[in-house]
Amino acid sequence: MSVSEDDHRGLLIVYATETGNAQDAADYIARQCRRIAFQCRVVNIDSFLLPDLLSETIVIFVVSTTGSGVEPRSMTPLWTSLLRGDLPTDTFEDLYFSVFGLGDTAYEKFCWAAKKLSRRLESIGGIEFYMRGEGDEQHPLGIDGALQPWTDGLINKLLEVAPLPPGEEIKPINDVPLPRVLLKDTSKTALNHSADPLKSDLQYHKAIVKKNDRITAADWYQDVRHLVFDFQDNIQYSPGDVAVIHPVALEHDVDAFLVTMSWQNIADEPFEIEQAMYDQSLPDHLPPITTLRTLFTRFLDFNAVPRRSFFQYLRYFTSDEREQEKLDEFLSAAGADELYEYCYRVRRTIHEVLSEFRHVKIPKGYIFDVFPPLRPREFSIASSIKTHLHQIHLCVAIVKYRTKLKIPRKGVCTYYLSILKPGDTLLVGIRRGLLRLPGKNDTPVIFIGPGTGIAPMRSAIEQRIANGCHENTLYFGCRSASKDQHYGSEWQAYAANQELKYRSAFSRDGVEGEARVYVQDLIRQDSERIWDLVGHHKAWVLVSGSSNKMPAAVKDAVAYAVEKYGGLSAEEAKEYVHLMVKEGRLIEECWS
């Protein structure tokens, strides 16, 4: 690899993400590359087009994967352009690239989007100058388990390609990096006149809570809510789309955190935010003038389990020798197991860590470097606009659990939703989802949505029935018919009207000692009908729910039907199902 003098200190880092992890990883890579005097730019792939790539020399892609090996939605326009058949094989002959993928080995197609991007860029002339990295959420240290060693290798490779300029030295890792913002004190009058960017975002709409009903039995271990939001705006969405909600931290939690940080006396003093490091991101919809209380209520997450880089910042900002020794141990290669035991295995939060490292004093200007963004959450819409005009329904499992330290935990966003009351207002965004319906109304659809995976299926089924489509089959699975059969009465009513064939599996209601029955077992039982729908009538199959073993087991069950009644070999049946995925007739939207 060789690059020109004009280009060899410039580096573009492009991230594509659904959850924000790729953005965090891109920020980390940029910080490390700055240590070797590279000029970094970090951009979201949704603002990046194919012609932009032609003018770049060295590009690092940080790409997450969604669903069944699908690229993030923000990446789709660029990915579609890259797949054009008329692109010459030397299109990117001057492009040197590397890819870091983010994934989860609980998914069948681990880091698939990163692998596809790497192969495609090479096929049209790009040169992969450094090996692809693959971060796994299942690693004891999460994505950091692969990201940090991969980045160390990247730094070494970049130094081979472009040695440090005369007079420059590698900045030691223990040198405190410059903060990404400058904070300037301002007046309360300026604060009162500061606009809230979320309120001016046309993708968000004012919602009024109409219902917030628990739909699991009162004595059931899991609290699942049916939420109904009313809108005055003429909102539009399609089955499979998602509602985007910005969580709000509880007031008493914020107060307790501010006390821990000794910021309670300055929590309401306004300041202006000026970005200093443009290769480092800031939270979405951040107002230009704000306060610490507002930031930790809406924009910065002190309840998250910290990443390894968080402990590096603690090392910068503690004056206590024992804390320094402990942090040095956590950050060493030999201390990875101890860091895992202390933090990740027991899911210790940022607030809890800071409560124990009492001598850490984080300068106010470093808050965006130390604390991760409190990112918006996405929930599959569980209603059709044709059936519920000016409304969005959600089906949300409220996250509650106890850690290995027996400390109760609650999901920040789901708990926020759980305490909403009729009449409360919030802003809700609408974003395109992965699932979609066939263009022809007479195409049969097989819906598979166990648990809260039923949410997008309810939206699609309501839409189909409103359009007069009655070739619908729903496979729903839960533990108990009487405890957590979400929307069971609706499915039974549709079935009685011959608008839906409803098949349900209740895994804990069977006779003790007998094998439990899941949705994939029902599909195998119905294999003759499944082949008739899929093989003869070209039915679509939509799958939503947990990514553990269910999606792969469902595809195996469909392949079984194809083999048994379609007259194909086992290998041909698997290829048939693979072709359904490729054609878009089998679509998954699953999560870990």
pLDDT per residue as tens digits for the range 405-462:
788 888 999 999 999 999 999 999 999 888 999 999 999 999 999 999 999 999 999 9
- Is 507 annotated in a binding site? The answer is yes
Three-class DSSP category at 378: strand
End-to-end CA distance of the chain: 39
Tell me which residue has tokens 């796994």.
136
What's the CA gap between 452 and 396, in Å, rounded? 7
Quickly list H helices, 124-227: 144-161, 188-192, 197-200
CATH number of the domain encompassing residue 402: 2.40.30.10
- Is 377 annotated in a binding site? The answer is yes
Q: State residue 54 phi and psi, 5-degree precision.
A: -65, -20
Check residue 4 and give its pLDDT: 46
> Both 56 and 129 in a single domain?
yes
Tell me: pLDDT of 19 over 80. Answer: no
Domain count across the chain: 4
What the block records as the tokens of 158 is 């970049």
What's the CA gap between 520 and 90, in Å, rounded? 46
- Is 21 annotated in a binding site? The answer is yes
Assess if residue 54 is contained within a domain. yes
Beta strands in 17-67 (DSSP E): 39-44, 58-64
- Is 518 annotated in a binding site? The answer is yes
What's the CA gap between 340 and 346, in Å, rounded? 8
The Cα angle at residue 430 between residues 425 and 436, in degrees rounded to 5: 140
> Both 48 and 70 in a single domain?
yes
Helix (H) or strand (E) holding 276: none
Three-class DSSP category at 490: helix
Check residue 592 and give its pLDDT: 60
CATH number of the domain encompassing residue 466: 3.40.50.80
Residue type at 276 in one-letter notation: A
Closest CA to 161 of 134, 133, 127, 124: 127
> Both 401 and 462 in a single domain?
no
What the block records as the tokens of 293 is 């209380």
What's the CA gap between 64 and 75, in Å, rounded? 10
What the block records as the tokens of 486 is 């979400």
Task: Assign 3-class secondary structure to 415-437.
Answer: HHHHCCCCCCEEEEEEECCCCCC
- Is 413 annotated in a binding site? The answer is yes
Assess if residue 539 is contained within a domain. yes
- Is 508 annotated in a binding site? The answer is yes
> Both 362 and 323 in a single domain?
yes
- Is 137 annotated in a binding site? The answer is yes
pLDDT in tens, 488-511: 999 999 999 999 999 999 999 877
Range of the domain at 233: 199-246+375-431
- Is 20 annotated in a binding site? The answer is yes
Residue type at 524 in one-letter notation: R
**Cα–Cα distances in Å, from 249 out to 45, 54, 306?**
29, 43, 17
> Both 151 and 16 in a single domain?
yes
Assess if residue 286 is contained within a domain. yes
CATH number of the domain encompassing residue 144: 3.40.50.360
- Is 22 annotated in a binding site? The answer is yes
> Both 44 and 90 in a single domain?
yes
What's the CA gap between 322 and 553, in Å, rounded? 51
- Is 370 annotated in a binding site? The answer is no
Check residue 9 and give its pLDDT: 73
**Dihedral over Cα of 309, 313, 315, 318: its sign:** negative
What's the CA gap between 385 and 236, in Å, rounded? 7
Assess if residue 521 is contained within a domain. yes
Closest CA to 75 of 105, 43, 103: 43
347 Ramachandran zone, left/alpha/beta (phi>0; psi -120 to 50) = left
- Is 429 annotated in a binding site? The answer is no
> Both 132 and 218 in a single domain?
no
Check residue 68 and give its pLDDT: 66
> Both 234 and 381 in a single domain?
yes
What is the arithmetic mean of pLDDT over 303-315? Answer: 94
CATH number of the domain encompassing residue 305: 1.20.990.10
- Is 443 annotated in a binding site? The answer is no
CB-count exposure of residue 195 (10 Å: 0-12, 13-18, 19+): exposed
Residue type at 447 in one-letter notation: F
CB-count exposure of residue 329 (10 Å: 0-12, 13-18, 19+): middle
Check residue 8 and give its pLDDT: 56
Neighbours of 83 (CB within 10 A): 11
- Is 591 annotated in a binding site? The answer is yes
Of 103-107, 147-151, 542-546, the least confident: 103-107
What is the arithmetic mean of pLDDT over 286-294? Answer: 97
Q: What value does the mean pLDDT of the chain take?
A: 92
Check residue 65 and give its pLDDT: 82
What is the share, in percent, of the chain residues with pLDDT greater than 90? 75
pLDDT in tens, 180-218: 999 999 999 999 999 999 999 999 999 999 999 999 999
Question: Of 341, 370, 399, which residue is a domain's last?
Answer: 370
390 Ramachandran zone, left/alpha/beta (phi>0; psi -120 to 50) = left
- Is 57 annotated in a binding site? The answer is no
Tell me: pLDDT of 7 over 80. Answer: no
> Both 456 and 496 in a single domain?
yes
Check residue 67 and give its pLDDT: 65
- Is 409 annotated in a binding site? The answer is no
> Both 335 and 268 in a single domain?
yes
Question: Of 132, 161, 190, which residue is a domain's last?
Answer: 161
Contact 147, 136 (CB under 8 A): no
- Is 387 annotated in a binding site? The answer is no
Assess if residue 5 is contained within a domain. no
Assess if residue 176 is contained within a domain. no
Closest CA to 425 of 196, 203, 206, 243: 206
What is the arithmetic mean of pLDDT over 583-592? Answer: 85
Assess if residue 489 is contained within a domain. yes
- Is 64 annotated in a binding site? The answer is yes
Assess if residue 184 is contained within a domain. no
What is the arithmetic mean of pLDDT over 145-164? Answer: 92
Contact 445, 464 (CB under 8 A): yes
What's the CA gap between 20 and 292, in Å, rounded? 22
Based on DSSP, count helices (H) and strands (E) in the chain, helices before strands. Answer: 21, 22
pLDDT in tens, 22-33: 888 999 999 999
- Is 520 annotated in a binding site? The answer is yes
- Is 119 annotated in a binding site? The answer is no
Tell me: pLDDT of 474 over 70. Answer: yes
What's the CA gap between 374 and 245, in Å, rounded? 11
> Both 393 and 365 in a single domain?
no
> Both 561 and 536 in a single domain?
yes
Confidence bin at 166 (pLDDT 50/70/90): confident
- Is 380 annotated in a binding site? The answer is yes
Question: Of 348, 370, 392, which residue is a domain's last?
Answer: 370
- Is 145 annotated in a binding site? The answer is no
